[in-house]
């Protein structure tokens, strides 16, 4: 589920362009030159943001628990996403 730029499901990324610039998100899906991002607050799990890979910056953080749940098609909640981002990005 990764592409050439090394972005995987469960990675925490920083938006570098658009209205959401300087916001952190979790990658829920990778598709060619696009990724789908959620933050559990403005961008909910039910309606992820589709963003070009060139408009995000990869951080050193990765949540393997959320990644495993997404890959296995288990349900994740917006609370799970918010909790993960709050714990990692302080």
3 has a pLDDT exceeding 60:
no
36-87 pLDDT tens trace? 999 999 999 999 999 999 999 999 999 999 999 999 999 999 999 999 999 8
Distance of alpha carbon 17 from its chain centroid, rounded?
15
pLDDT band at 90 (very low <50, low <70, confident <90, very high): low
pLDDT band at 30 (very low <50, low <70, confident <90, very high): very high
Amino acid 39: pLDDT: 95
Amino acid 6: pLDDT: 87
Domains of the chain plus CATH, in order, are 11-88 (2.30.30)
| Contact indicator for 13, 57 with CB cutoff of 8 Å | yes
Amino acid 1: pLDDT: 44
2 has a pLDDT exceeding 50:
no
């Amino acid at each position: 589920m990764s592409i050439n730029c090394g972005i995987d499901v469960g990675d925490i990324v920083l938006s570098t362009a658009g209205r959401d610039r300087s916001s952190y998100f979790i990658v829920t899906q990778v598709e060619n030159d696009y990724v789908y991002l959620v933050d559990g607050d403005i961008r909910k799990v039910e309606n992820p943001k589709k963003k070009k890979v060139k408009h995000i910056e990869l951080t050193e953080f990765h949540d393997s628990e959320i990644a495993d749940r997404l890959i296995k098609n288990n349900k994740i909640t917006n609370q799970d996403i918010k909790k993960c981002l709050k714990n990692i990005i302080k």
